[in-house]
Amino acid sequence: GDQVEQSPSALSLHEGTGSALRCNFTTTMRAVQWFQQNSRGSLINLFYLASGTKENGRLKSTFNSKESYSTLHIRDAQLEDSGTYFCAAENVGDNSKLIWGLGTSLVVNP
């Protein structure tokens, strides 16, 4: 079935550095969302993209539907960025359900 492959599965960063998380899709997706699950377990919606790039503070996300991938860039990482990051995509023609990646566990160290 349709899948979302998320990488890396785990990532460790030092404060002030940055990295990119990626989701690859096995089929054409209409839109993608990125979520952070923080240390309290809450799921926070970071971005919704139907195309192109969005930026919010130290986070930037890109969605390329034609090439079937999305990225989330984190720059100047802070301790509070630690948590698990999930991407979830909408299949073309069915916006009622999302297809979820398995997450990237991010640890930011002092």
> Cα–Cα distances in Å, from 92 out to 11, 19, 23?
30, 29, 17
Contact between 90 and other proteins by CB under 8 A: the answer reads: yes
Contacts of 65 by beta carbon, 8 Å cutoff, 6+ apart: 28, 29, 30, 51
By CB under 8 A, name the one of 26, 78, 95, 109 that touches other proteins.
95
Q: Binding of other proteins at residue 101 (CB under 8 A)?
A: yes
Binding marks (x or -) toward other proteins, 37..76, rule CB under 8 A? ---xxxxxx--x----------------------------
98 forms part of the interface with other proteins (CB under 8 A): yes
Residue 50 amino acid letter: A
